[in-house]
Amino acid sequence: MKEQKENIIKIILSAVFLGIAFLICDVFFKDISIYIKAVIFLPSYLIVGFEIIKEAVEKLLKGELLDEDFLMAVATIGAIIMGNFPEATFVMLFFTIGETAEGWAESKSEKRVSSLLEICPDTATVIENESYITKNSEEINIGDTILVKPGERIALDGVVLKGETRLDTSSVTGESVPKKLSIGDTAISGCINLESPVEIKVTSRKTESTSFKILELVKNACEKKTKTEKFITRFARVYTPAVVFLAVTIAIIPSIILGNAKEHIYSALTFLIVSCPCALVVSVPLSFFGAIGAASKHGIIVKGSDSLEVFANIGTAVFDKTGTITEGTFKVTAVHPKTVNEQGLIQIAASVEKDSTHPVASSILSFANKDQLLPTENVTEISGMGMTATIINKKVFVGNDKLMKKENIEYKDCHHNGTIVHIAVDNEYLGHIVISDTIKPDSKNGLNMLKNMGISTVMLSGDNENSVSAVAKELSFDRFHASLLPKDKLSILEQIMEQEGKKTVFVGDGINDAPVLARADAGIAMGGLGSDAAIESADAVIVDDKISKIKTLIDISKKSVKISKENIIFSISVKVAVLVLSTLGISGIMWFAAFADAGVLVLAVLNSLRTMKI
Cα dihedral 425/428/430/432 (nearest 10) = 90
8 Å CB contact between 499 and 517 = no
Nearest 5°: phi and psi at 41? -80, -20
Alpha-carbon span 434 to 338, nearest angstrom = 14
Spatial strand order in the sheet of 314-320: 300-302, 540-542, 522-526, 503-508, 314-320, 456-460, 479-481
8 Å CB contact between 550 and 325 = no
8 Å CB contact between 188 and 158 = no
Spatial strand order in the sheet of 192-193: 179-181, 165-168, 192-193
3-state helix, strand, coil in the chain (%, to 5): 55, 20, 25
Beta strands in 190-260 (DSSP E): 192-193, 198-202
Q: Is 320 known to be catalytic? A: yes
C-alpha angle 74/79/80, rounded to 5°? 100
8 Å CB contact between 395 and 426 = yes
Alpha-carbon span 582 to 561, nearest angstrom = 32
DSSP string of 489-554, one letter each residue: HHHHHHHHHHHH-SEEEEEE-SGGGHHHHHHSSEEEEESGGG-HHHHHH-SEEETT--TTHHHHHH
Nearest partner of 193 among 162, 149, 159, 145, judged by Cα: 149
Radius of gyration of the chain (CA): 33
Spatial strand order in the sheet of 428-436: 331-337, 428-436, 419-425, 394-399, 386-391, 377-382
Alpha-carbon span 534 to 193, nearest angstrom = 28
Alpha-carbon span 329 to 439, nearest angstrom = 10
Alpha-carbon span 579 to 598, nearest angstrom = 15
8 Å CB contact between 55 and 69 = yes
Alpha-carbon span 170 to 151, nearest angstrom = 14
The residue type at 298 = H
Active-site option among 67, 69, 157, 320: 320
Residues in Cβ contact with 349 at an 8 Å cutoff, skipping those fewer than 6 apart: 364, 368, 398, 421, 423, 433
Alpha-carbon span 505 to 519, nearest angstrom = 9
Residues known to be catalytic: 320
